Amino acid sequence: MQARPTVTRSHGIGATHFATRVDGCEHSLEIFDAGTVNAGGAVLRRSCPLGAEAGTSALDALLAAAKEAAGGAWSLRWIKLAGMGSKAGPDLMRLRLAAAAMESSRWNASAGTPSQPGEHVGDVVAALAAPATVFPEGQGAFHRHGRCLTSPSVEDVEVRPVSSIPGGEELIRRGAKPTDRLPFSAVLWFRVATGKACE
């Protein structure tokens, strides 16, 4: 069994920071303090594209350290994924989001817009960006800590032609046209739930 990555802990203004390095990639979890405007929330960041194995072990370690620091109590109500990895290279979350749009009747790939006139891009992308679809590694890590991710909301959605999406050749192999315009990047906010919401 692989050893859990070492996590460092520090405290800044209004938040506690947990950080680890796996395979040369920095992963951090910033948890906002009780009594602050963002209490109950956290921001997850990483310095390189998501790789399933590295991302899972890093998130597991960060969540375990945060839970231990809180004396076993768990106050997270939401978590923000700040960006979806490196702008320079392919990222599993981005490709999963684009693939979900490519396969969905709710997205008009030739126009690069929702299929239904008047439907907001953010609403469609939120529906496509279910945790089990775009971030199953994160869902698994939260499950191991007795929680789950639900109800995503999004901001800063970026839509591009497949030919300019990092890793877009994989989408073309799966049937996308180079000129298709797909959502491939967004800031995602997931609600952290427990109990029946996770069944």
Domain boundaries, the chain: 8-198
For 123-157, what is each residue's pLDDT tens digit? 999 999 988 888 888 888 888 888 888 878 888 89
> HEC profile for the chain?
CCCCCCCEEEEECCEEEEEEEECCEEEEEEEECCCCCCCCEEEEEECCCCCHHHHHHHHHHHHHHHHHHCCCCCCCCEEEECCCCCCCCCCHHHHHHHHHHHHCCCEECCCCEECCCCCCHHHHHHHHCCHHHHCHHHHHHHHHCCCEEEEEEEEEEEEEEHHHCCCHHHHHHCCCCCCCEEEEEEEEEEEEECHHHHC
pLDDT at 162 over 90: yes
Among the residue ranges 30-44, 62-76, 82-96, 138-152, the one predicted with the least confidence is: 82-96
- Identify the pLDDT of residue 195: 80
Please, which pLDDT band fits residue 121 given cuts at 50, 70 and 90?
very high
pTM beyond 0.95: the answer is: no
- Identify the pLDDT of residue 175: 96
